[in-house]
Chains A and B, each alone.
Chain A
Amino acid sequence: MGNVELTGEFVAFFVFAVMIISGSVFMISLTKVVHMVLSLLAAFIGVAGLFILLEAEFLAFVQVLIYAGAVAILMIFGIMMTKHQEEEKATTKRAWQEGLAAVGALALFGLLFFAIRSSELAPAQSFEAGEDNALEIGKLLFTNYVIPFELVSVLLTVAFIGSIVLAKKEAE
Protein backbone atom coordinates (compact mmCIF):
# COMPACT_ATOMS: atom_id res chain seq x y z
CA MET A 1 0.00 0.00 0.00
CA GLY A 2 2.98 2.30 -0.48
CA ASN A 3 1.60 4.11 -3.51
CA VAL A 4 -1.96 4.95 -2.67
CA GLU A 5 -3.52 7.18 -5.25
CA LEU A 6 -6.24 9.38 -3.89
CA THR A 7 -9.21 8.08 -5.85
CA GLY A 8 -12.82 8.58 -4.91
CA GLU A 9 -13.11 4.92 -3.92
CA PHE A 10 -10.19 5.23 -1.53
CA VAL A 11 -11.59 8.35 0.13
CA ALA A 12 -15.01 6.72 0.53
CA PHE A 13 -13.39 3.54 1.87
CA PHE A 14 -11.41 5.61 4.38
CA VAL A 15 -14.52 7.44 5.59
CA PHE A 16 -16.49 4.20 6.02
CA ALA A 17 -13.52 2.46 7.67
CA VAL A 18 -13.19 5.26 10.23
CA MET A 19 -16.95 5.03 10.85
CA ILE A 20 -16.82 1.25 11.35
CA ILE A 21 -13.74 1.16 13.57
CA SER A 22 -14.77 4.09 15.75
CA GLY A 23 -18.27 2.63 16.09
CA SER A 24 -16.99 -0.76 17.16
CA VAL A 25 -14.31 0.62 19.51
CA PHE A 26 -16.85 2.94 21.15
CA MET A 27 -19.13 -0.09 21.48
CA ILE A 28 -16.41 -1.73 23.58
CA SER A 29 -15.49 1.31 25.65
CA LEU A 30 -18.82 3.00 26.43
CA THR A 31 -20.50 2.16 29.74
CA LYS A 32 -24.24 2.54 29.05
CA VAL A 33 -25.73 -0.33 27.06
CA VAL A 34 -28.05 1.87 24.95
CA HIS A 35 -25.07 3.99 23.88
CA MET A 36 -23.29 0.78 22.91
CA VAL A 37 -26.17 -0.20 20.62
CA LEU A 38 -26.19 3.26 19.03
CA SER A 39 -22.45 3.19 18.30
CA LEU A 40 -22.83 -0.31 16.87
CA LEU A 41 -25.53 1.12 14.60
CA ALA A 42 -22.88 3.46 13.16
CA ALA A 43 -20.65 0.45 12.49
CA PHE A 44 -23.49 -1.44 10.75
CA ILE A 45 -24.27 1.54 8.52
CA GLY A 46 -20.58 1.84 7.70
CA VAL A 47 -20.56 -1.81 6.63
CA ALA A 48 -23.57 -1.06 4.39
CA GLY A 49 -21.53 1.75 2.82
CA LEU A 50 -18.69 -0.70 2.19
CA PHE A 51 -21.14 -3.02 0.44
CA ILE A 52 -22.16 -0.17 -1.88
CA LEU A 53 -18.46 0.47 -2.61
CA LEU A 54 -18.13 -3.23 -3.47
CA GLU A 55 -21.04 -2.99 -5.94
CA ALA A 56 -23.35 -5.03 -3.73
CA GLU A 57 -26.25 -2.59 -3.58
CA PHE A 58 -28.83 -5.24 -2.72
CA LEU A 59 -26.74 -6.49 0.20
CA ALA A 60 -26.28 -2.91 1.38
CA PHE A 61 -30.04 -2.46 1.60
CA VAL A 62 -30.43 -5.83 3.30
CA GLN A 63 -27.74 -4.80 5.78
CA VAL A 64 -29.54 -1.55 6.61
CA LEU A 65 -32.92 -3.29 6.89
CA ILE A 66 -31.84 -6.35 8.89
CA TYR A 67 -28.91 -5.16 11.00
CA ALA A 68 -29.43 -1.42 11.39
CA GLY A 69 -33.19 -1.92 11.56
CA ALA A 70 -34.32 -5.24 12.95
CA VAL A 71 -31.34 -6.44 15.02
CA ALA A 72 -30.69 -3.04 16.65
CA ILE A 73 -34.36 -2.63 17.59
CA LEU A 74 -34.41 -6.21 18.91
CA MET A 75 -31.37 -5.48 21.08
CA ILE A 76 -32.99 -2.28 22.39
CA PHE A 77 -36.07 -4.30 23.31
CA GLY A 78 -33.84 -6.82 25.06
CA ILE A 79 -32.24 -3.98 27.03
CA MET A 80 -35.62 -2.51 27.92
CA MET A 81 -36.90 -5.83 29.28
CA THR A 82 -33.88 -6.42 31.51
CA LYS A 83 -32.20 -4.32 34.17
CA HIS A 84 -28.71 -2.88 33.70
CA GLN A 85 -28.18 -0.76 36.80
CA GLU A 86 -25.67 -2.93 38.58
CA GLU A 87 -22.09 -1.68 38.64
CA GLU A 88 -19.37 -3.81 37.15
CA LYS A 89 -17.19 -4.72 40.08
CA ALA A 90 -13.50 -4.81 39.29
CA THR A 91 -11.88 -7.87 40.76
CA THR A 92 -8.39 -9.12 40.05
CA LYS A 93 -9.81 -12.21 38.36
CA ARG A 94 -11.82 -10.01 35.98
CA ALA A 95 -8.79 -7.85 35.22
CA TRP A 96 -6.83 -11.00 34.40
CA GLN A 97 -9.61 -12.21 32.11
CA GLU A 98 -9.84 -8.88 30.29
CA GLY A 99 -6.08 -8.73 29.83
CA LEU A 100 -5.97 -12.26 28.48
CA ALA A 101 -8.86 -11.49 26.11
CA ALA A 102 -7.07 -8.38 24.84
CA VAL A 103 -3.85 -10.30 24.31
CA GLY A 104 -5.70 -13.08 22.49
CA ALA A 105 -7.58 -10.68 20.21
CA LEU A 106 -4.40 -8.74 19.43
CA ALA A 107 -2.51 -11.96 18.71
CA LEU A 108 -5.25 -13.09 16.33
CA PHE A 109 -5.16 -9.71 14.61
CA GLY A 110 -1.39 -9.92 14.26
CA LEU A 111 -1.68 -13.38 12.74
CA LEU A 112 -4.39 -12.30 10.28
CA PHE A 113 -2.49 -9.13 9.37
CA PHE A 114 0.68 -11.13 8.72
CA ALA A 115 -1.28 -13.60 6.59
CA ILE A 116 -2.92 -10.82 4.57
CA ARG A 117 0.41 -9.02 4.05
CA SER A 118 2.34 -12.10 3.03
CA SER A 119 -0.21 -13.68 0.70
CA GLU A 120 -0.16 -12.88 -2.98
CA LEU A 121 -3.61 -11.58 -3.67
CA ALA A 122 -4.87 -11.79 -7.20
CA PRO A 123 -4.76 -8.54 -9.16
CA ALA A 124 -8.08 -6.77 -9.43
CA GLN A 125 -10.08 -8.07 -12.35
CA SER A 126 -12.84 -6.32 -14.12
CA PHE A 127 -16.05 -7.74 -12.77
CA GLU A 128 -19.49 -6.41 -13.49
CA ALA A 129 -22.01 -7.44 -10.89
CA GLY A 130 -24.73 -6.89 -13.43
CA GLU A 131 -26.52 -3.69 -14.29
CA ASP A 132 -29.28 -4.60 -11.88
CA ASN A 133 -27.72 -6.28 -8.84
CA ALA A 134 -31.03 -7.27 -7.24
CA LEU A 135 -32.25 -8.85 -10.49
CA GLU A 136 -29.10 -10.96 -10.84
CA ILE A 137 -29.29 -12.09 -7.20
CA GLY A 138 -32.97 -12.94 -7.62
CA LYS A 139 -32.22 -15.05 -10.69
CA LEU A 140 -29.46 -16.92 -8.85
CA LEU A 141 -31.66 -17.37 -5.80
CA PHE A 142 -34.31 -19.18 -7.82
CA THR A 143 -31.98 -21.25 -10.00
CA ASN A 144 -28.71 -22.34 -8.37
CA TYR A 145 -29.58 -21.61 -4.75
CA VAL A 146 -33.18 -22.79 -4.51
CA ILE A 147 -32.56 -25.44 -1.84
CA PRO A 148 -30.51 -23.20 0.50
CA PHE A 149 -33.14 -20.50 0.00
CA GLU A 150 -35.94 -22.82 1.08
CA LEU A 151 -33.83 -24.11 3.99
CA VAL A 152 -33.25 -20.54 5.17
CA SER A 153 -36.97 -19.86 5.08
CA VAL A 154 -37.56 -23.00 7.17
CA LEU A 155 -34.81 -21.87 9.57
CA LEU A 156 -36.35 -18.41 9.93
CA THR A 157 -39.77 -19.91 10.64
CA VAL A 158 -38.29 -22.26 13.25
CA ALA A 159 -36.36 -19.42 14.90
CA PHE A 160 -39.44 -17.21 14.90
CA ILE A 161 -41.66 -19.86 16.52
CA GLY A 162 -38.88 -20.93 18.88
CA SER A 163 -38.23 -17.43 20.15
CA ILE A 164 -41.95 -16.88 20.78
CA VAL A 165 -42.15 -20.14 22.73
CA LEU A 166 -38.98 -19.33 24.70
CA ALA A 167 -39.97 -15.80 25.65
CA LYS A 168 -43.61 -16.61 26.41
CA LYS A 169 -44.63 -16.09 30.01
CA GLU A 170 -45.22 -19.44 31.64
CA ALA A 171 -48.62 -20.00 33.14
CA GLU A 172 -48.35 -19.85 36.91
Chain B
Amino acid sequence: MLASYLTLAAILFCVGLYGVLAKRNTVVVLLSIELMLNAANVNLVAFSKYGVVPSLSGHMFALFSIAVGAAEAAVGIAILIMLYRARGTVNVDDYDELRG
Protein backbone atom coordinates (compact mmCIF):
# COMPACT_ATOMS: atom_id res chain seq x y z
CA MET B 1 0.00 0.00 0.00
CA LEU B 2 2.91 2.35 0.76
CA ALA B 3 4.17 2.12 -2.83
CA SER B 4 0.77 3.24 -4.14
CA TYR B 5 0.79 6.31 -1.91
CA LEU B 6 4.36 7.17 -2.92
CA THR B 7 3.53 6.79 -6.62
CA LEU B 8 0.48 9.00 -6.26
CA ALA B 9 2.55 11.65 -4.51
CA ALA B 10 5.19 11.41 -7.26
CA ILE B 11 2.52 11.97 -9.93
CA LEU B 12 1.18 14.95 -7.99
CA PHE B 13 4.65 16.43 -7.59
CA CYS B 14 5.50 16.03 -11.29
CA VAL B 15 2.23 17.65 -12.40
CA GLY B 16 3.04 20.55 -10.06
CA LEU B 17 6.58 20.76 -11.42
CA TYR B 18 5.29 20.89 -15.00
CA GLY B 19 2.87 23.65 -13.98
CA VAL B 20 5.65 25.70 -12.39
CA LEU B 21 7.95 25.32 -15.40
CA ALA B 22 5.49 25.64 -18.30
CA LYS B 23 2.70 27.97 -17.17
CA ARG B 24 3.10 31.69 -17.70
CA ASN B 25 0.40 32.96 -15.35
CA THR B 26 1.72 33.87 -11.89
CA VAL B 27 -1.41 32.67 -10.06
CA VAL B 28 -1.16 29.28 -11.76
CA VAL B 29 2.52 29.02 -10.81
CA LEU B 30 1.59 29.66 -7.15
CA LEU B 31 -1.16 27.02 -7.36
CA SER B 32 1.32 24.50 -8.77
CA ILE B 33 3.69 25.18 -5.88
CA GLU B 34 0.84 24.38 -3.47
CA LEU B 35 0.31 21.12 -5.39
CA MET B 36 3.96 20.16 -4.88
CA LEU B 37 3.73 20.96 -1.15
CA ASN B 38 0.67 18.71 -0.93
CA ALA B 39 2.58 15.87 -2.58
CA ALA B 40 5.28 16.19 0.08
CA ASN B 41 2.63 16.12 2.81
CA VAL B 42 1.10 12.93 1.40
CA ASN B 43 4.54 11.32 1.53
CA LEU B 44 5.13 12.42 5.13
CA VAL B 45 1.79 11.07 6.35
CA ALA B 46 2.13 7.83 4.36
CA PHE B 47 5.54 7.16 5.92
CA SER B 48 4.20 7.99 9.36
CA LYS B 49 1.68 5.14 8.99
CA TYR B 50 3.50 2.57 6.85
CA GLY B 51 7.15 3.49 7.45
CA VAL B 52 9.84 1.50 9.24
CA VAL B 53 9.22 3.34 12.51
CA PRO B 54 5.59 4.44 12.43
CA SER B 55 4.92 7.37 14.74
CA LEU B 56 3.17 10.69 14.89
CA SER B 57 6.30 12.62 13.83
CA GLY B 58 5.18 12.59 10.19
CA HIS B 59 1.91 14.20 11.20
CA MET B 60 3.79 16.95 13.01
CA PHE B 61 6.06 17.60 10.03
CA ALA B 62 3.06 17.75 7.69
CA LEU B 63 1.35 20.16 10.08
CA PHE B 64 4.34 22.51 10.09
CA SER B 65 4.69 22.27 6.33
CA ILE B 66 1.01 23.18 5.91
CA ALA B 67 1.57 26.26 8.11
CA VAL B 68 4.63 27.31 6.11
CA GLY B 69 2.70 26.71 2.86
CA ALA B 70 -0.13 28.97 4.03
CA ALA B 71 2.36 31.73 4.92
CA GLU B 72 4.03 31.30 1.52
CA ALA B 73 0.69 31.62 -0.30
CA ALA B 74 -0.21 34.80 1.61
CA VAL B 75 3.13 36.49 0.89
CA GLY B 76 3.06 35.25 -2.72
CA ILE B 77 -0.34 36.76 -3.41
CA ALA B 78 0.75 40.04 -1.78
CA ILE B 79 3.84 40.19 -4.00
CA LEU B 80 1.69 39.32 -7.04
CA ILE B 81 -0.70 42.19 -6.31
CA MET B 82 2.19 44.61 -5.84
CA LEU B 83 3.85 43.48 -9.09
CA TYR B 84 0.54 43.78 -10.90
CA ARG B 85 0.16 47.36 -9.70
CA ALA B 86 3.67 48.22 -10.86
CA ARG B 87 3.66 46.40 -14.22
CA GLY B 88 0.00 45.83 -15.15
CA THR B 89 0.50 42.19 -16.10
CA VAL B 90 0.50 38.74 -14.47
CA ASN B 91 2.72 37.09 -17.08
CA VAL B 92 5.92 35.82 -15.45
CA ASP B 93 7.87 36.41 -18.68
CA ASP B 94 7.35 40.14 -18.24
CA TYR B 95 8.96 40.20 -14.80
CA ASP B 96 12.53 40.22 -16.14
CA GLU B 97 14.06 43.18 -14.30
CA LEU B 98 16.76 41.06 -12.70
CA ARG B 99 17.79 39.28 -15.90
CA GLY B 100 21.45 39.97 -16.60
* Residues of A bordering B, CB below 8 Å: 1, 9-10, 13, 17, 20-21, 24-25, 27-28, 33, 36-37, 40, 43-44, 47, 50-51, 54-56, 58-59, 62-63, 66-67, 70-71, 74-75, 77-79, 81-84, 86, 88, 94, 97-98, 100-102, 104-106, 108-109, 112-113, 116-117, 121-122, 124-125, 127, 129-130, 133, 136-137, 140-141, 145, 148, 152, 155-156, 158-160, 162-164, 166-167
Contacts and interface: CB of A to CB of B under 8 A. Distances in A.
B56 A101 contact: no
Contacts of A140: 56, 60
Contacts of A9: 1
Contacts, number: 222
Interface of B: 1-8, 10-19, 21-25, 27-28, 30-32, 34-35, 38, 41-42, 45-46, 48-52, 54-56, 59-60, 62-64, 66-75, 77-82, 84, 88-91
